Structure 1
C-alpha cells in the first residue's frame, strides 16, 4: 500500500510537471526555464556535424554529453518537448532503482518524489537530471562488483562531479578493482571520442576553469547582501550564468578551489578511516552525499539544477535504513523549495537586489552550508548498522541489491 502511495504521488506530480512544460498547466514565469533546451538544441546541430561546440564558452561538458544532447534530435518532435520526455524517463528509472533496493526504506522514493516538486518543473528541462540518474544507479548498485566503477565513470563522462562517488568505496581489494574499472571505462570513452572526432575531447575544461563567482553561489552571499546597501559591483552574464564583477570578487573566486580541496580532503580522510571500520553500502552513500554537498557549498557556481544532484544522492541515502544523513537531506529539501522561489519565480527580484529575494538567497545558502557541515561531521564516527527489515513468507524477494 505504501509503495502504491509513493508511485501514485510520483505519477500525479510528474503529469503536472510535464503539462507545465507543454504549456497545458499554468505556471508563473514558465518561459524563464525554457532557455537551456534552446541552447542544447543549438549544440546538437553542431554535434550532429561531428564536432564539439568548443567555440561556445557555455560548453563545459565531458564527451558523453554529446549523445544526450543529440538524443532528442534523433527521436524527433519539438526539441524541448522530446528533451522533457527523455528527462521524465530518467526520473522514472531513478524511482525504479529507489523502490527496488534490497532492504530499503520508502523514505528514499518519497524524498525524490517530493524533492522534484519542491525544485519545480525546471528539473525536466535541465541536462543534470540525466547525470543524476547515472549517479543514483551507481550508488544503488554499490554492492555489485565492478558495476559501480563502470557506472561512476559513465557519470563522470557526462559531468565531472560523479568522480566524487569513488570516495564511497571500501578500503580493500574490491575498492581497488572498482577504481580500476572506473579508470578503464573513462579511458575507453575518451579514446573512442578522440578517434571518432579526430581531436582530444577535453577542451571543455578550459571554459570550466575560467568561470567566475556566480551570484547564487554560497561564497557570493555577502556580496549579494551588500548590494542592499549600495555595493559598487555588478551582475553580468558570462560563461552561461549570472556572475558577480566588482571589488573583492576575484579574490574570493580564486580562494574557492583551495577551499574545495580542503573540504574534500576532510571528507576523504574520514571516509578512509570509516571504511576500515565495517564498511557497508549505506556508509558509502553517506560519504558520496557529503562529498558532493561539500563540493557544491564551496563551488564558484550554485545553479538551481545542482540541487538535483543533492536530491538524488540524498534519496539514495534515505533508501538505506542505516543512513545518518536524514537531517542533512531534510535541509536540502527546504533549500530546494527556496531555490524554486528564487528561480524562476522571483528571479527578476533577485537580479534587482530586492530585499526579500536577497534574504531568501541568504537563508538558502545558510541551509546548504549547515547541511554540509552536518553531513561531513556525521562521517566522523564511521558506519552505522541497522537490522534488516523483517520479511514474511508472503513478502516478495527484492530484485536488486
Structure 2
C-alpha cells in the first residue's frame, strides 16, 4: 500500500511536470529570435531546411544533390509526416508531432517505471532533462528517432519481435538505434529479435527504395564530412588555434567545421577511436557472462556514448539520444549507469550554454568558447569511459557465482535465457 502511494505520487509529479516544462519550451520557441536563444537560427532548420526537403520528398525523390542531406532513407518518412496534418503550417505540424512523440516517450517511461521492481527516475530524467536543451528538441527530429530506440528497449523484454522492429525502423531514420539490441542476452529469443530487426529493416528499405529515387545518396554526403567544431577533435583543433595553428572555421555539410593543416589526421584519429570502441563492445559482448534486466539498457547507453564521443560530429541534439537512453536505464533498479546519467545531465546543461547561448564564442575560438567545449566534451568522455567500465564489471560474474545460473523468467525477463546470480 505504501509502495502504491509512492508510485502514484511519482506518476502525478511527472504528469504535472511534463506540461509545465513543455509550455516553457514552446514559449522559448516563440522567442527564438532573441540573441541569447540563437537569434532565430534554431527554428530556421525546420522552416527552411526540413521544409525544402519536404518539397523534394513529396515529388518522390531524396535530395541527392544537396550536401546537407546526410540521413538514411527512413528520415524521409519523418520529414513527410508534418504534411499529413491538416490545418497547420509545416512548422506548426512538425512541432505538434514532436510534442506528441515526446508525450509517448514519457508515457512509456512512466509505464515501465511503475512495474514491480522498477523506478520512475527514468521518466523524471526525461521529463526534466529535455528542457535543459531549451527549444532545440522541438525543432529537430531527434526526439522521433530517440522514441524508436526507447520503445525498442522497453518492448524487447515482453515482445522481442516488437523490439526488433522498432530498432530497425530507428536505424533507417538515423543509424545509431542499431546499437540498442547489442546487450540482449544470448539465446533463441535474442536471435529472433535480431532476425525480426533484419527482416523489418529489409522490408522497410525495399519499400522506400520503390517509393523514392536516390535512397542511398546520403552515403556520399556523410562520407564527405570533416571535423565539426563541437566534436572532441574539433575542441583539440580549436585549442590549437591559441598555440599558432593556422586553421579556421568554415560552414560546410550543414555544420561549422575546422579546415587547415592536420585536419585529415584528426578525422582519421576519430575514425580509429570509433573502430577501437567497436572492438571493445565486441569483446564485452563475447566475454559477458552475467545479465540482469538492466543489461540491454546499460549496453545501449554505453555503446551510443562511445560512438558519440569518438564521432567527428557532436551536435547539441545528440544529447537527446543520450537523455532518452539514460532514462531507460534509470527505469531499472539494477542499472549500473546512475552516475553516468548525472554526467549526461551536466553535459546537456553545458551544451545549451554552448549552443545557442555562446555559439559565437565557439566559432571564433575564444578562450571562453574553447573552455566551454572542453568542459562539455570532457564530461561526455568521462561518461563514456565510466559507462563502459561499469558495464564491463556488471557483466562479469563473481568467482563464487561463475557456474551458478537460474532461468530468467517473469514479466521483465526473457524466457529461455540464463543469468549468473549470487
Whether 1:91 aligns to 2:102 is yes
Counterparts of 1:53 and 1:24, CA distance in 2: 27
**What is the aligned counterpart of 1:33 among 42, 48, 55?**
42
Residue in 2 that maps onto 1:191 = 206
CA, structure 1 residues 3+400, in 2 after alignment: closer, same or farther (shift >3 Å)? farther
Offset of residue 371 of structure 1: 0.2
Task: Output the aligned Cα RMSD.
Answer: 2.1
Whether 1:363 aligns to 2:378 is no
Counterparts of 1:173 and 1:151, CA distance in 2: 19
Offset of residue 315 of structure 1: 0.5
Deviations for 1:128-159, whole angstroms, at most 9, x for unmatched residues?
11100100111111202211111100100111
**What is the aligned counterpart of 1:9 among 7, 14, 17?**
17
Residue in 2 that maps onto 1:377 = 389
Q: Which runs of 5+ in 1 are unaligned?
A: 386-397
Whether 1:235 aligns to 2:245 is no
- What SS is found at the alignment partner of 1:243? strand
Residue in 2 that maps onto 1:388 = none
> Is the contact between residue 60 and residue 207 of structure 1 (CA under 8 Å) also seen in structure 2?
yes
CA, structure 1 residues 51+25, in 2 after alignment: closer, same or farther (shift >3 Å)? closer
> Is the contact between residue 142 and residue 281 of structure 1 (CA under 8 Å) also seen in structure 2?
no
- What SS is found at the alignment partner of 2:82? helix
- Equivalent residues, number: 386
Residue in 1 that maps onto 2:191 = 176
Offset of residue 383 of structure 1: 4.3
- What SS is found at the alignment partner of 2:179? helix
Counterparts of 1:216 and 1:254, CA distance in 2: 17
Counterparts of 2:99 and 2:165, CA distance in 1: 24
**What is the aligned counterpart of 2:90 among 75, 79, 83?**
79
Offset of residue 25 of structure 1: 11
| Mapping of residues 184-333 of structure 1, within 5 Å | 184-197=199-212, 199=213, 201-274=215-288, 276-277=289-290, 279-333=291-345
Q: Which runs of 5+ in 2 are unaligned?
A: 1-8, 398-410, 415-422
Offset of residue 384 of structure 1: 9.3
Bigger mean CA offset, 316-325 vs 1-10 = 1-10
Residue in 2 that maps onto 1:50 = 60
Counterparts of 2:178 and 2:168, CA distance in 1: 7
Counterparts of 1:230 and 1:10, CA distance in 2: 48
Counterparts of 2:29 and 2:262, CA distance in 1: 39
Whether 1:126 aligns to 2:103 is no
> Is the contact between residue 100 and residue 399 of structure 1 (CA under 8 Å) also seen in structure 2?
no
Higher relative contact order (CA 8 A, sep 6+): 1
- What SS is found at the alignment partner of 1:381? helix
Deviations for 1:158-202, whole angstroms, at most 9, x for unmatched residues?
1111111121221111111111101101110111122223x4522
Deviations for 1:102-143, whole angstroms, at most 9, x for unmatched residues?
332111011111211212211110011110010011111120
> Is the contact between residue 256 and residue 298 of structure 1 (CA under 8 Å) also seen in structure 2?
yes
Counterparts of 2:55 and 2:214, CA distance in 1: 20
**What is the aligned counterpart of 1:142 among 138, 143, 156?**
156
- What SS is found at the alignment partner of 1:244? strand
> Is the contact between residue 181 and residue 296 of structure 2 (CA under 8 Å) also seen in structure 1?
no
Residue in 1 that maps onto 2:405 = none
